[in-house]
């Protein structure tokens, strides 16, 4: 498969668990599809339908930390926010020194990320990210029974080891926004051990020299 490889880095990142809104806020080890697609939308400066998009990605981090944050809880009346708010503190996990590589044969995605319209974030508004490299189109070698599946999410129907979590694939652009295509995934962190699979993937070598096998998601939201 011929793809563009888009490298993105950030000092911090955090990917919240869906439906978890109280107590310590943990972070997923890998961004959900909706986060990566939102990143592409931010670069494009518009909401994209993402029809027939082939997308793979790899995410790694150096360490995990915990921050103590002040939040403001705004009260509501008749379903609308008011001017009344109270402060609270929460513990929030975050990932440090992050690297995200996006793979896609779609030239438009590469062009959007070459000159982002809005700022790019890997989580919260202060998790700023930077595009550090976009390759020319490169050929990735197809591999059967991939063994180096790491730093990515794989649909749970393939029954791979990893944290199991239902994650949204995408959201609508209406208010309130709606989930599109929530599915169960195996979240396989970058520090996972090698294991055998029956998965078809594509081989790549990271800037660090580490070899990985990339699974491609087939996405269509038309």
pLDDT tens per residue across span 7-37: 999 999 999 888 776 678 899 999 999 999 9
Tokens of 178: 């709606």
- How many domains would you assign to the chain? 1
**Within a domain: residue 120?**
yes
Give the domain CATH number at 142. Answer: 3.30.70
Neighbours of 173 (CB within 10 A): 12
Give the per-residue pLDDT at 50. Answer: 87
Distances (CA, A) of 170 to 29, 49, 177, 178, 219: 19, 10, 10, 8, 10
pTM: 0.91
Residue 184's closest CA among 152, 156, 215, 154? 156
Please give the residue that has the higher pLDDT: either 177 or 148: 148
Contact present, 11 and 112 (Cβ < 8 Å): no
Please give the residue that has the higher pLDDT: either 176 or 201: 201
**Within a domain: residue 156?**
yes
Kindly tell me if the per-residue pLDDT of 133 is higher than 90: yes
Kindly tell me if the per-residue pLDDT of 175 is higher than 90: no
Please give the residue that has the higher pLDDT: either 87 or 58: 58
Q: Which percentage of the chain shows pLDDT scores above 90? A: 77
**Within a domain: residue 82?**
no
Domain that holds residue 200: 2-64+96-219
pLDDT tens per residue across span 40-83: 999 999 999 888 999 999 999 999 999 998 888 888 888 788 88
170-171 and 201-205 beta bridge pairing: unpaired
- Average of per-residue pLDDT across 144-171: 95
Euclidean distance between CA atoms 75 and 81, whole angstroms: 6
- What 3-state DSSP class applies to 47? coil
Instruction: Tell me the range of 50-54, 94-98, 194-198 where mean pLDDT is highest.
Output: 94-98
- What 3-state DSSP class applies to 18? coil
**Within a domain: residue 12?**
yes
Give the per-residue pLDDT at 157. Answer: 95
**Within a domain: residue 52?**
yes
**Within a domain: residue 118?**
yes
Kindly tell me if the per-residue pLDDT of 115 is higher than 90: yes
Give the per-residue pLDDT at 23. Answer: 74
């Amino acid at each position: 498969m011929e793809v563009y490889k888009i490298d993105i880095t950030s000092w911090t990142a955090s990917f919240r668990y869906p439906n978890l809104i109280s107590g310590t806020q943990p972070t997923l080890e890998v961004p959900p599809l909706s986060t990566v697609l939102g990143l592409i939308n931010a670069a494009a400066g518009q909401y994209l339908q993402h029809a027939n998009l082939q997308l793979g990605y790899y995410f790694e981090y150096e360490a995990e930390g915990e921050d103590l944050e002040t939040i403001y809880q705004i009260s509501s009346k008749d379903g609308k926010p008011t001017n009344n708010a109270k402060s609270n503190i929460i513990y929030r996990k975050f990932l440090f020194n992050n690297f995200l590589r996006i793979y896609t044969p779609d030239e438009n995605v590469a062009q959007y990320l070459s000159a982002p319209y809005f700022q790019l974030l890997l989580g919260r508004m202060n998790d700023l990210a930077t595009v550090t490299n976009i390759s020319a189109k490169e050929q990735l070698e197809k591999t059967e029974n991939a063994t180096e599946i790491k730093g990515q999410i794989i649909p749970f129907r393939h029954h791979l080891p990893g944290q199991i979590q239902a994650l949204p694939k995408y959201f609508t652009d209406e208010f309130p926004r709606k989930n599109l295509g929530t599915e169960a995934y195996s979240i396989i962190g970058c520090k996972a051990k090698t294991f055998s699979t029956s998965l078809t993937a594509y081989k790549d070598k990271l800037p660090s020299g580490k070899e990985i096998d990339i699974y491609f998601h087939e996405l269509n939201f038309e």
